[in-house]
Amino acid sequence: MAKKKNTAKEIKEEENINAHISGAGEVVNQLVTETLEVNFMPYAMSVIMSRAIPEIDGFKPAHRKILYSMYKMGLLTGPRSKSANIVGRTMQLNPHGDASIYETMVRLSRGYEALLVPYVDSKGNFGKAYSRDMVWAASRYTEAKLESVCNELFNDIDKDTVDFVDNYDSTMKEPTLLPVSFPSILVNANTGIAVGMASSICSFNLKEVCDTTIELIRNSDHNVADTLKAPDFIGGAKILYDRESIENIYKTGKGGIRVRANYEYDKSNNCIDITQIPPTTTAEAIIDKIIEKVKAGSIKDISDVRDETDKQGLKITIDLKRGVDPDKLMQKLFKMTTLEDTFSCNFNVLIGGVPRVMGVAELLEEWIAFRTDCVRRRVYFELTKAKEKLHLLKGLEKIILDIDEAIRIIRKTEEESEVVPNLMINFGIDKLQAEYVAEIKLRHLNKEYILKRTQDIEKLEKDVEDMENILASKSRVKTIIINELKNVAAKYGSERRSEIIYTSEIEDYDEEESVPDYPVTVFLTKEGYFKKITPLSLRMSGEHKLKENDEIVQSVETTNNTELLFFTDKCQVYKSRASDFDDSKTSLLGDYVPSKCGMDEGESVLYMTVTTDYSGYMLFFFENGKVAKVELSSYKTVTNRKKLIKAYSDKAKIAAIRHIKEDCDLVMQSSAGRLLILSTGAIAPKATKDTVGVAVMTLKKNQWVAGVRDYVPGEFAKPHRYKTRNLPAAGALLSAEDSGEQIKMDL
């Protein structure tokens, strides 16, 4: 069917419409860079500044608008109000729709159980943070008010402690920050995804945070890890404590915290009851994963799993088959499901409108500076009010000498406008004082009333002097903040919910006999991808599938029960088993080792060691010509830890890593092209992993060790040319006989 043509009248109307819209109907060529700058950048900045990243008071704008609206509604002390009413009032500040406002309020509530110190006292079904399927009721059914801890958010808000700005339509004012009297930024978990950046702040125990802040105020060099033991989650669970990892998070603001579910074994019913889970997962996700593993045959010890959560709280019940060891089963479940998970920390906070990733100490110092400003502004506000009142009372004090004269002046003054000037002239007071006296009610013109008012003068004078002293003294401001923190800790502090267990205390169960053992070939690529392929699959496969510019750097024939050690560019080693990786094919990319082993951000794999008995030596070749020889048994641990720090020395840049079963000859090459045949037996082995090694190859300025490879007998016409009796040695350039051969170095 042919498209109907527009009539002349319709065309004319369209032209008239386009004439009133600037640029309508025009096709404009625009550079992509210009589009990003004009359209995308304002959106990205809006998300970062006004949506996803919390500020130093611990709140995102949406949180702040809801709490301030509830405060203005009188819900700090009054009865609860319908949630729908709160949502409606909040839309005066936050015009983003009632659904998003209500969801934000739910997440702040006590009933939802997402915050360690909730801000909203809820009544009704507010859902649960640990459940994917327990959805909150509609806002017309639930009620809410502010928790008593919100007194610490709003106590000083009417004393010019923070700046106020217009709302979106300039009909009312709202605070840019809340004058919180404790570091709420660390007390409650806060996550957000912006454009190009994100924020993920774990929660800490309120009392520990206050104590740590007090210590930092007293001593700026205080080690926060001494008083702030570890994060504390509303859902409890167990934190696997590693002091070095915690201190790294406290220092950099980034890292991961391993959290493990809490369980009890019910012997009478032969079942395991899980009552606390990590904050990063839900009960349904755990149950789904267990069912998946049971169906796949990975777990054969479970007869049933169900969710028995009720009003008493979370409860996942796992029925066991007869004769099953519950502890061994839980160790397996910790590895296979999110019953043990990692909370990724990224302490990204807006400071003065600029997003910054900070450690705990730096973050607390910023909060102390913010709170110091709030206290000084409050004192200055109160000082101004006191001075104004004192000024008026001093004027009132002057008329006490002759009240009758004041009445006579007012009565005999013919015009009302002359009352104030006449009082000023007769009593020697200024206009403000005269206005104050003139406005006193007739019933108050008695000596008793005036004496009571003027008795406050001495107290006000002392208060003014005291407040001026506070503003001039940094130590007094610090004392005020410390006392406020002590009061908050005493009022709202509670015992830790999350239990701390040290990684060294975790009992490891050897399940090697339950893992099938069969021949495999393992491959590691330059980009950090790992493949485990059976001989049959390898024979029937074609070329390896790799990413662009990637290549296989190691391939080892071994078995499924072998242990793997991945050495990284951050002087760390991650331990795993070949059985932890699924069987692969050459047509697949394989597993990405940094992700599979939970490596730090930006960490890359340099070398893979395959072993069953930890025999042999690790050789670390450094660019400065030194070589460290470490017994592989030094990396064997009783507790089977998955990550070891200081795996090798960080004093010089690594050039190559080798694992040898026994002493052999290797060829070292410098950046200047010199070769040195090294007999590894000439280097004494060390038990210390991060030994700096011994000097082996002497190098001139701006030269370095470029590579290391195996020595192949017969490859050099005169091998003694490249050997030496004494170390260190410079090596030799290729002779004329050898220069024609292409020598491939293992860099």
> Region 27-45: what's the mean pLDDT?
79
> Region 437-465: what's the mean pLDDT?
81
pLDDT at 552: 93
**81 and 144 both lie in a single domain:** yes
DSSP letters, 452-499, are HHHTHHHHHHHHHHHHHHHHH-HHHHHHHHHHHHHHHHHHH----SSE
pLDDT tens track for 660-685: 999 999 999 999 989 999 999 999 99
**379 and 331 both lie in a single domain:** no
pLDDT at 617: 94
Q: How confident is the model at residue 413 (pLDDT cuts 50, 70, 90)?
A: confident
Q: What is the CATH number of the domain that holds 478?
A: 1.10.268.10
CB 122 within 8 A of CB 144: yes
Please tell me the distance from the alpha carbon of residue 557 to that of residue 575, in angstroms, as a whole number. Answer: 18
> Region 135-152: what's the mean pLDDT?
95
Q: How confident is the model at residue 348 (pLDDT cuts 50, 70, 90)?
A: very high
Strands across the sheet containing 563-568: 605-611, 563-568, 573-577, 643-644
Please work out, in degrees rounded to the nearest 5, the angle formed at the alpha carbon of residue 320 by the alpha carbons of 235 and 291.
65
pLDDT tens track for 572-591: 999 998 988 888 999 899 99
Q: Is residue 445's pLDDT more than 80?
A: no
Token digits for 300? 């054969």
Q: What is the CATH number of the domain that holds 300?
A: 3.30.1360.40
pLDDT at 261: 95
**53 and 140 both lie in a single domain:** yes
Q: Is residue 14's pLDDT more than 70?
A: no
Token digits for 85? 């009413």
Token digits for 2? 């042919």
Following CA atoms 276, 280, 282, 288 in sequence, which dihedral angle do they give, to the nearest 10 degrees?
A: -110
**472 and 386 both lie in a single domain:** yes
Please tell me the distance from the alpha carbon of residue 162 to that of residue 164, in angstroms, as a whole number. Answer: 7
pLDDT at 740: 55
Residue 280 lies in a domain: yes
Distances (CA, A) of 586 to 549, 608, 609: 17, 19, 21
Q: Is 71 helix (H, G, I), strand (E, B) or coil?
A: helix
Minimum mean pLDDT range among 2-11, 230-239, 450-459: 2-11
Residues above pLDDT 90, as percent of the chain: 63
Burial of 718 (0-12, 13-18, 19+ CB in 10 A): exposed
Burial of 497 (0-12, 13-18, 19+ CB in 10 A): middle
**330 and 374 both lie in a single domain:** no
**456 and 408 both lie in a single domain:** yes
pLDDT tens track for 506-562: 765 555 445 677 899 999 999 999 999 999 988 888 889 999 999 999 999 999 889
pLDDT at 746: 39
**394 and 293 both lie in a single domain:** no
pTM above 0.75, yes or no: no
pLDDT at 24: 58
> Region 453-469: what's the mean pLDDT?
89
DSSP letters, 83-137, are HHHHHHHHTTT--S-HHHHHHHHHHTBTTTT--SS-SEEEES----TT-SS-PPP
Closest CA to 380 of 464, 473, 481: 464
pLDDT at 18: 54
Residues above pLDDT 70, as percent of the chain: 93
pLDDT at 744: 43
> Region 210-220: what's the mean pLDDT?
96
**330 and 446 both lie in a single domain:** no
Burial of 653 (0-12, 13-18, 19+ CB in 10 A): exposed
Minimum mean pLDDT range among 380-389, 496-505, 599-608, 692-701: 496-505
Of 288, 316, 338, which residue is a domain's last? Answer: 338
**169 and 112 both lie in a single domain:** yes
Distances (CA, A) of 241 to 133, 230, 249, 453: 31, 8, 12, 62
Q: Is residue 742's pLDDT more than 60?
A: no
Active-site residue identified among 112, 119, 130, 141: 141
Of 136, 152, 180, which residue is a domain's last? Answer: 180
**328 and 392 both lie in a single domain:** no
pLDDT at 720: 86
Count structural domains, the chain. 3
pLDDT at 515: 65
> Region 340-347: what's the mean pLDDT?
94
Residue 647 lies in a domain: no
Residue 678 lies in a domain: no
Token digits for 306? 């169900």
Residue 475 lies in a domain: yes
More confident residue, 119 or 435: 119
Residue 602 lies in a domain: no
Token digits for 95? 């015009």
**326 and 385 both lie in a single domain:** no
Q: Respond yes or no: is residue 574 known to be catalytic.
A: no
Of 319, 338, 357, which residue is a domain's last? Answer: 338
> Region 1-6: what's the mean pLDDT?
48
Residue 298 lies in a domain: yes
Please tell me the distance from the alpha carbon of residue 661 to that of residue 611, in angstroms, as a whole number. Answer: 10
More confident residue, 735 or 471: 471
Distances (CA, A) of 445 to 183, 392, 429: 50, 15, 18
Domain span at residue 411?
368-491
Q: Is residue 475's pLDDT more than 70?
A: yes
Residue 173 lies in a domain: yes
pLDDT tens track for 613-662: 899 999 999 999 999 999 999 998 876 678 899 999 999 999 999 999 99
Minimum mean pLDDT range among 126-135, 142-151, 177-186, 540-549: 540-549
Residue 505 lies in a domain: no
pLDDT at 181: 96
Token digits for 400? 């006490």
pLDDT tens track for 65-111: 999 999 999 999 989 999 999 999 999 998 888 999 999 999 999 99
- Four-residue CA torsion sign, 339, 344, 347, 350: negative
Burial of 78 (0-12, 13-18, 19+ CB in 10 A): exposed
> Position of tokens 């070769």?
675
pLDDT at 477: 96
Average pLDDT score over the chain = 89
Q: What is the CATH number of the domain that holds 141?
A: 3.90.199.10
Helical pair 206-218 and 474-492, crossing angle rounded to 10 deg = 160
**70 and 130 both lie in a single domain:** yes
Q: How confident is the model at residue 465 (pLDDT cuts 50, 70, 90)?
A: very high
H-run or E-run covering 57: none
pLDDT at 743: 45
Give the contacts of 480 (CB within 8 A, at least 6 positions apart). 375, 470
